[in-house]
Structure 1
Amino acid sequence: MKYYLIAGERSGDLHGGNLIRAILRNDPDAQFRGFGGEQMQTAGMELVVHYDQLAFMGVVKVLLNFRKISGYFRQCADDLLRWKPDVVILIDYGGFNMRIARKIKPLGTRVFYYISPKVWAWNTGRAHKLKATVDRMFCILPFEKDFFSKFDWDVDYVGNPVLDAVKAFKSNVAFRDSNRLPGDRPVVALLPGSRRGEVERIAPLMADTAGRFPTIHFAVAAVNTLPRSLYRPLENLPNVQLVFEQTYDLLQNSTAAVVTSGTATLETALHRVPQVCVYITAPIEYAIGKRLLKVPYISLVNLILNKPAIAELLQHEATLDRLSEELKPLLEDGPRRKQMLSDYAELYQALDTGSASDNAGRLMVHYLKA
């Protein structure tokens, strides 16, 4: 069968690559084409457009690049019509992919969605639109199945691919020595995100925090896809170092972490590293988001557990004093640290339902052949 996949972000490319391999185990003659990145291409997909042409974060960036995004939308729709796949598999990236679903569903092509758009967070009414344009939804968060059931929609919860990645990770035993991390004092991991705007806004606060704790060593989970100059506020401090493209190794060697909201909060929790979640966005986007947000938390950890397991410092709350106040008890073997680790164990159990990509791949092939 012919599978057309669309992923518009780095994480979607990773999960898409794993999904392709899972589908091949159930459908060895499968053909793949679509939008994505190196991970999906390596797994066997013919790449039409790389996700880095589509990765615009926030309302303002999307509006400024609307013409460019519309051009890729038309290219995608035209390519779909020419290739005539048996199914289109949409991976996260809600704004673009929901438009694609509305465009192609009337043509009779089957539409599967892997990693649901976060309609439960921003606009619950969009669940009706998803149901009308998507044949099968494959969710990765346990509470999403109950959410969609309110719209009389039976969806599949397949497990979480982040847990798959953490389970599969093989740590580098030489990491601490090769990166010259000190063995005589705690290390705090700083995860400022992988997008330019995130790093620009959070780096100064992280630098001030490192200055507040001069006896603690801080290590920044840096990425090669951003200019090194973005990390300059952190790089020049005596107790801070940059560690490029080794986030999981860094987490496994850290006592605590300061994390920008997103998938990284879940990754940090699954590595059992106590953390503080910090999120700073552009003022206009914060104002819009505050009006639209329908959930009590922004971190995946708290959303899944449905309680404030980790501290969330948003926008004006993200100050040096507040961050220092939340970080200090995580560096001590006291009740706050122990409670967070206990909550992490509960989180792990909630997500541990087997491989998400294996479950999704098997179900997709089953539904197509049924």
Structure 2
Amino acid sequence: MFLAHKVMIVTGEASGDLHGAGVAAALKELQPGVRLSGVGGQAMAAAGVKILYDIKELSVMGFVEVAKKYPHIKGIFNKLVEILKMDPPDVLVTIDYADFNMRLAQAAKNLGIKVVYYIAPSAWAWRRGRAKTIAASVARVASIFPFEADVYREAGAKVSFVGHPLLDIVKPSLTREEAYRYFAADPARPLITLMPGSRRQEIETLLPEMLQALRLIRERQPDLQAFLPLASTISRDLVAEMCARYQADIQIVAAHTYDLLAISTF
């Protein structure tokens, strides 16, 4: 069995941070002394990964925002390549974040570093040619869907079907009674959870519409309780300011999201 003593894990979004933390925990269980570093957020840091760059610096969407931050993102990319040269890991694990990680995977391969792509780009859905590009640059694809595994095998990649990580993650950790107490929610009243996203642009675009919709719903259902689970990539002040601007009575929370969803009416 190949044992990696040093692993770099790179993702660029809140969901990837969550899955990266799962990878880190599994690696530590297999090899307690493994050294982990990479690009991630709070979840990966809590799992023992030395964070080289926070995903808050990379989490953008839309052509305009990407164009604005391109020099900064390119700078981070170049610095990661330099780290790969100067202090190469035994394995680079790339998680989602396709355009950035596909290039990083190729750079790592050029340096002789093994790459495992976990949650690879959805080549089965669009831009199918990406599967061949990835197959040529990674040692293995860890596929989360069986049909995805087939697409990457056909493209020439070595593939392991590992299943979808959300099957292990998306489940309540509290009973309903415990959840109501944790959130100080009234079980006799309806409850709505707003989830506008994990990127600043999503918050700025979607949350105002959600808050206006919440106002309309409350005109018909004035006893409605509202909660908003905060992504680790988003500033609480940003969300609180927007809620205040729309005079929205809503509780901003930062933990036990799946327990909150379990007791939500909407």
Which TM-score applies when normalising by structure 2? Answer: 0.84
Separation in 1, partners of 2:151, 2:143: 11
Q: 1:171-182 counterparts in 2 under 5 A?
A: 171=175, 173-177=177-181, 179-182=183-186
1:14-68 deviations in Å (ceiling 9; x for gaps):
2212211211222233222222233323323232222222222233211211111
Give the fraction of aligned pairs with identical amino acids, expressed as a percent. 34
Q: CA deviation at 1:99?
A: 0.8
**Residue equivalent to 1:36:** 40
Report if aligned partners of 1:89, 1:111 keep a CA contact under 8 Å in 2: yes
* CA–CA separation in structure 2 for the residues paired with 1:174 and 1:168: 11
Q: Find the counterpart in structure 2 of residue 80 from structure 1.
A: 84
CA gap of 1:161–1:168, structure 2 versus 1, over 3 A, is: farther
User: Are 1:161 and 2:165 matched, yes or no?
Assistant: yes
Task: Pick the aligned partner of 2:15 from 11, 28, 35.
Answer: 11
Larger helix proportion, structure 1 or 2?
1
* Matching residue of 1:283: none
For the pair 1:230 / 2:242, whether they are aligned, the reply is yes
Q: Which secondary structure state, in structure 2, belongs to the residue aligned with residue 120 of structure 1?
A: coil
User: What displacement does 1:116 show?
Assistant: 1.0
Instruction: Select the residue among 224, 228, 251 that pairs with 1:221.
Output: 228
**Does the Cα contact within 8 Å between 2:116 and 2:141 map onto a contact in 1?**
yes
- Distance (Å, rounded) in 1 between the aligned partners of 2:78 and 2:211: 43
Mean Cα deviation higher: 155-164 or 168-177: 168-177
Question: Is contact 2:227–2:250 with CA below 8 Å preserved after alignment?
Answer: yes
Pairs aligned (count) = 253
1:70 is the counterpart of 2:74: yes
* Equivalent residues of 2:185, 2:225 under 8 A apart: no
Q: Distance in 2 between matches of 1:78 and 1:13?
A: 22
Q: 2:176 & 2:85 partners in 1: Cα distance?
A: 46
Counterpart position of 1:254: 264
The amino acid of 1:248's aligned partner reads Y
Once the two structures are TM-superposed, the CA of residue 180 in structure 1 deviates from its matched residue by 4.5
Q: 1:231 to 1:161 in 2, by over 3 A?
A: farther
Amino acid at match of 1:44: G
Query: Shift in Å at residue 218 of structure 1?
Result: 4.6
- 5 Å-filtered alignment, 1:254-333, equals 254-256=264-266
SS at match of 1:229: helix
How far has the Cα of 1:233 moved from its partner?
Answer: 5.6
Contact 2:92–2:116 (CA<8 Å) still a contact in 1? yes
Q: Distance in 2 between matches of 1:85 and 1:129?
A: 22
One-letter code of the match for 2:64?
V
Q: How far off its partner does 1:123 sit?
A: 1.6
Paired with 2:45 and 2:182, the residues of 1 have a C-alpha distance of 31
C-alpha contact 1:190 1:218 (8 A) present in aligned 2: no
For 1:278-302, what per-residue CA distance to the aligned partner results, in whole angstroms no more than 9, with x for missing partners?
xxxxxxxxxxxxxxxxxxxxxxxxx
Distance 1:65 1:171, change over 3 A: farther
CA distance in 2, matches of 1:52, 1:207: 24
Aligned counterparts, 1:143-154, within 5 A: 143-154=147-158
Q: Is the 8 A contact 2:136 2:157 kept in 1?
A: no
**Any idea what the Cα deviations from partners look like across 1:305-361, whole Å, max 9, x if unmatched?**
xxxxxxxxxxxxxxxxxxxxxxxxxxxxxxxxxxxxxxxxxxxxxxxxxxxxxxxxx
Unaligned runs of 5+ in 1: 257-370
Aligned to 1:115: 119
What amino acid is aligned across from residue 204 of structure 1 in structure 2?
A: P
**SS of the residue aligned with 1:67?**
helix
Distance 1:24 1:178, change over 3 A: closer
CA distance in 1, matches of 2:159, 2:123: 14
CA 1:222–1:17: 2 relative to 1, 3 Å = closer
CA contact (8 A) 2:95 2:119 kept: yes
Check conservation: 2:90, 2:114, Cα contact below 8 A: yes
Q: Could you tell me how far apart the structure 2 residues matched to 1:171 and 1:184 are?
A: 16
Cα distance in 1 for residues equivalent to 2:172 and 2:183: 22
2:131 matched to which residue of 1?
127
